[in-house]
């Protein structure tokens, strides 16, 4: 009997020791995870790029972030560790010079030379911070129980080292032939090449690297070498002429998210034919998750305007001003309602109607207690009367992008965010989706300092971003009703 009790006690003691070891191992892994999360991320140079690399326990995927365009994810390895590389800075001039002198092959050579060195250094860093995290948490939990602390740290080192080795052994660059896209990239798979082309040419690491770099070059060399925008700015997404295009609304929403804008201003023609089925496009407005300012276009009915106003995040401006996210915006809906029926409109009468609205806008502005920062109309002919009275006028209607200064007022037109709208079903899919992001200072009062024009072809996914710095392109803008020279950026 006594012997049986001793054996039972011994088994119980072994079980307790095993549980203690498992608990210490769990503490070590938790500490390693915290260490990797908090201490591992680091930014390293790779050719003309500066890339932030990080890793943490998780699914065996590699994420490549190309802000502000979005992110792509590929199932590249089977190890229980997720890898991430986010492009933080691009030496655009060096990038342009390198591609011009040595072509894409030369750029790939530089990145391929730098990448293994940076990755090896990061692997050692990851192992070190995992050990530090495990040690810190084990000391916090076990204090002076040296053996359990040692078990936790040893477990962290072994698991992280084994995960790194397994990731290296099973890594497949060809997985980027079929990645998952998010952000603006979801609308632009062409950014890194279509799948059917990539599958045929990605055979090794170099080919996969070349594909990613090619997409990055095509995206980032479209951004002009302008000063970086201060983080403390008001960011406004300007869209127009969606024409009931779900693709256009999705594009606008992804740009709003990717550029982290504070508000959206839609300068009208949300629909085309004034049919009830088109009103379904309004249901997509809440998904923007930020204020959505709407100014009625000539294809938008007042019933549609009322429906927009019922959306929880919508602000309808029709002859009034409102301060939103620190920016005072005035808006007036188009005076003419003429849904697209296929019957040619009287252009002369239409233009006269638009210009006649200028008197009402001038009267509204004069009655305001404080000046506005921006005026939004569908057709900029409506605001010709107030050139020199407001700093910025934004509009659409003409399906062309244009920037022009009149009497010190900057008139910004954006083309069509909906592309061809319903025309996409008629094969008119070569019209790009267009939007622009405006950057305003906050202090001492909002002032436009720059704007980005973003265009994307729906068929190919080709994406361009062109930045214009207002001071460099137009000089100091001083609104004045008296005539002044006109400057234009096409």
pLDDT of residue 3: 67
Residue ending a domain, choose from 173, 190, 220: 220
Q: Which of 418, 425, 426 is nearest to 456 (CA)?
A: 418
- 68 preceded by a cis bond (ω within 30 of 0): yes
Place of tokens 């029709």: 318
pLDDT of residue 160: 94
14 confidence band (pLDDT: 50, 70, 90): confident
Average pLDDT over residues 112-118: 78
Average pLDDT over residues 407-423: 84
pLDDT of residue 114: 77
Beta bridge partners of 463: 456
Alpha-carbon span 435 to 239, nearest angstrom = 5
For the sheet containing 448-456, what is the strand order?
Answer: 314-316, 292-294, 263-266, 233-239, 433-441, 448-456, 463-469
Domain containing 240 equals: 233-489
Chain mean pLDDT for the chain:
81
Q: What is the CA radius of gyration of the chain?
A: 29
pLDDT of residue 94: 65
User: Is the domain of 145 the same as that of 241?
Assistant: no
pLDDT of residue 197: 37
DSSP 3-state helix, strand, coil percentages of the chain (rounded to 5)? 45, 25, 30
User: Is the domain of 70 the same as that of 174?
Assistant: yes
Higher pLDDT, 37 or 15: 37
pLDDT of residue 478: 85
User: Is the domain of 202 the same as that of 309?
Assistant: no
User: Is the domain of 376 the same as that of 351?
Assistant: yes
Does 6 reside within a domain?
no
- Assess whether pLDDT exceeds 70 at residue 207: no
Alpha-carbon span 283 to 353, nearest angstrom = 31
* CA 75 remoteness from chain centre: 23
Residue ending a domain, choose from 176, 197, 220: 220
DSSP category for residue 262: S
pLDDT digits (tens, 9 = 90+) for 157-203: 999 999 999 998 998 876 765 566 554 434 443 443 433 333 333 34
pLDDT of residue 212: 53
Average pLDDT over residues 428-445: 84
Number of domains in the chain: 2
User: Is the domain of 162 the same as that of 248?
Assistant: no
What are the contacts of 139-148 at 24+ separation with CB within 8 A? Answer: 141/27, 142/24, 142/27, 148/20, 148/21, 148/23, 148/24, 148/27
Say which residues have a Cβ less than 8 Å from residue 106's Cβ, sequence separation at least 6: 98, 99
User: Is the domain of 92 the same as that of 138?
Assistant: yes
Does 225 reside within a domain?
no
Does 64 reside within a domain?
yes
Alpha-carbon span 37 to 166, nearest angstrom = 20
Task: Count CB-CB contacts under 10 A for residue 103.
Answer: 11
pLDDT of residue 62: 86
User: Is the domain of 405 the same as that of 264?
Assistant: yes
Asked if 262 and 478 touch (Cβ cutoff 8 Å), the reply is no
Alpha-carbon span 292 to 374, nearest angstrom = 15
Say which residues have a Cβ less than 8 Å from residue 454's Cβ, sequence separation at least 6: 255, 434, 435, 436, 437, 463, 464, 465
In the chain, the percentage of residues whose pLDDT exceeds 90 is 46
Higher pLDDT, 88 or 289: 289
pLDDT of residue 285: 95
Q: Read off the CATH number of the domain in which 368 is found.
A: 3.60.21.10
**Whole-structure pTM over 0.75, yes or no?**
no
Coil, strand or helix at 477:
coil
Q: Is 273 exposed, middle or buried (0-12, 13-18, 19+ CB in 10 A)?
A: middle
Asked if 61 and 84 touch (Cβ cutoff 8 Å), the reply is no
pLDDT digits (tens, 9 = 90+) for 243-292: 888 888 988 998 888 788 999 999 999 988 767 766 788 999 999 999 99
Asked if 355 and 347 touch (Cβ cutoff 8 Å), the reply is no
Q: In the Cβ-directed half-sphere of 101, how many Cα atoms lie within 13 Å?
A: 9
136 confidence band (pLDDT: 50, 70, 90): very high
User: Is the domain of 194 the same as that of 329?
Assistant: no
pLDDT of residue 44: 86
User: Is the domain of 407 the same as that of 273?
Assistant: yes
Does 115 reside within a domain?
yes
Does 240 reside within a domain?
yes
468 confidence band (pLDDT: 50, 70, 90): confident
Higher pLDDT, 340 or 206: 340
For the sheet containing 487-489, what is the strand order?
Answer: 320-324, 327-331, 374-376, 392-395, 409-413, 402-406, 487-489
């Amino acid at each position: 009997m006594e012997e049986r009790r001793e054996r039972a006690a011994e088994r119980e003691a072994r079980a307790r020791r095993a549980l203690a070891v498992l608990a210490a191992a769990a503490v070590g892994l938790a500490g390693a995870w915290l260490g990797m999360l908090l201490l591992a991320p680091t930014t390293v140079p790779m050719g003309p790029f500066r890339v932030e690399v990080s890793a943490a326990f998780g699914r065996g995927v590699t994420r490549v972030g190309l802000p502000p365009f979005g992110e792509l994810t590929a199932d590249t390895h089977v190890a229980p560790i997720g890898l991430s590389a986010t492009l933080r800075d691009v030496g655009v001039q060096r990038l342009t010079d390198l591609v011009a002198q040595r072509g894409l092959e030369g750029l790939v050579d530089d990145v391929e030379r730098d990448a293994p060195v940076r990755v090896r250094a990061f692997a050692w860093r990851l192992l070190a911070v995992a050990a530090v995290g495990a040690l810190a948490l084990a000391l916090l939990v076990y204090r002076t129980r040296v053996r359990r602390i040692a078990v936790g740290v040893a477990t962290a080192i072994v698991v992280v080292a084994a995960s790194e080795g397994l990731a290296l052994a099973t890594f497949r660059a060809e997985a980027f032939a079929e990645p998952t896209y998010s952000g603006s990239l979801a609308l632009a798979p062409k950014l890194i090449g279509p799948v059917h082309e990539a599958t045929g040419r990605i055979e090794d690491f170099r080919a996969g690297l070349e594909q990613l770099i090619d997409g990055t070059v095509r995206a980032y060399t479209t951004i002009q070498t302008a000063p970086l925008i201060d983080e403390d700015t008001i960011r406004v997404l300007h869209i127009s002429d969606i024409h009931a295009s779900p693709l256009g609304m999705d594009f606008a929403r992804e740009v709003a998210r990717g550029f982290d804008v504070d508000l959206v201003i839609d300068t009208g023609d949300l629909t085309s034919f004034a049919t009830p089925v088109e009103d379904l496009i309004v249901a997509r407005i809440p998904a923007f998750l930020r204020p959505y300012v709407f100014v009625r276009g000539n294809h938008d009915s007042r019933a549609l305007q009322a429906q927009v106003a019922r959306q929880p995040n919508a602000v309808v401006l029709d002859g009034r001003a409102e301060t939103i996210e620190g920016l005072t915006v005035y808006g007036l809906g188009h005076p003419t309602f003429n849904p697209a029926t296929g019957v040619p409109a009287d252009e002369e009468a239409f233009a006269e109607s638009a210009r006649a609205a200028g008197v009402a806008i001038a009267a509204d502005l004069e009655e305001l207690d404080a000046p506005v920062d921006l005026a939004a109309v569908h057709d900029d002919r409506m605001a010709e009367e107030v050139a020199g009275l407001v700093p910025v006028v934004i509009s659409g209607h003409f399906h062309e992008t244009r920037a022009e200064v009149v009497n010190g007022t900057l008139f910004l037109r954006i083309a069509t965010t909906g592309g061809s709208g319903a025309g996409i079903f008629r094969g008119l899919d070569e019209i790009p989706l267009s939007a622009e992001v405006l950057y305003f200072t906050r202090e001492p009062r909002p002032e436009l300092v720059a704007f980005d024009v973003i265009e994307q072809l729906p068929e190919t996914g080709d994406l361009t971003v062109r930045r214009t710095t207002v001071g460099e392109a137009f000089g100091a803008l001083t609104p004045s009703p008296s005539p002044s020279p006109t400057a234009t950026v096409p």
